Structure 1
C-alpha cells in the first residue's frame, strides 16, 4: 500500500497533467494548485490528509468529466451542425 506522501505526490502530478487542458490556461491552474498544496503542506493528521486526498480524487474525476463533455460537444458540433 502506498504511503500518504506518495499518494499526495501522485495526486499532484495527475492534477498537473490534467491542468494542461484547463480552459482558463495552464499557468493559472498550476499556480492555484500549487497554492492549495502549499497551504496544506503542514498538515500532520492522517485522517485529514486522507479526506484531502479523497477530495483531490473527486476533483480529478470532475476534471476528466469536464474534458469528456468538452470533447463530446466538439464532436457533436462538428458532425451534427444544426
Structure 2
C-alpha cells in the first residue's frame, strides 16, 4: 500500500514540475528533457527511504522554482510601475 502512495506522490510531483517548466527561461522542451532524464535515472529505486528523500528534494525544487517565478513577476511589476532604478 505504501508503494502505491509513493508512486502517486512521484507522479504528482512529476506533473507539478512539468507544469512549472512551461515558463522556464531556456524553454519548455529543455526543461522537460532534463526532468524526464532525472526521473528515469531513478526509476529502478525500490528503497522507500531513498524514494522519500528524492520526493522531498523534488518538492523543495518545485518550491524554489515557484519562488523564482514570483520574484521575476515582482521585478517585472516593480519595473513597470517605478522604472529602472
- TM bucket normalised to smaller: over 0.9
Q: Deviations over 1:47-70 (max 9, x none)?
A: 000000000000000000000000
Q: CA RMSD in A?
A: 1.2
1:42 aligns to 2:38 (yes or no): no
1:51 aligns to 2:57 (yes or no): no
Aligned to 2:17: 15
Aligned residues: 82
> Structure 1, unaligned stretches of length 5 or more?
none
Counterpart Cα distance in 2 of 1:12 and 1:26: 14
1:60 aligns to 2:81 (yes or no): no
Counterpart Cα distance in 1 of 2:64 and 2:27: 17
Out of 73, 76, 79, the residue aligned to residue 75 of structure 2 is: 73
Aligned to 2:31: 29
> Structure 2, unaligned stretches of length 5 or more?
none
Instruction: After the TM superposition, list the runs of 4 or more consecutive aligned residues in structure 1 that deviate by more than 4 angstroms.
Output: none
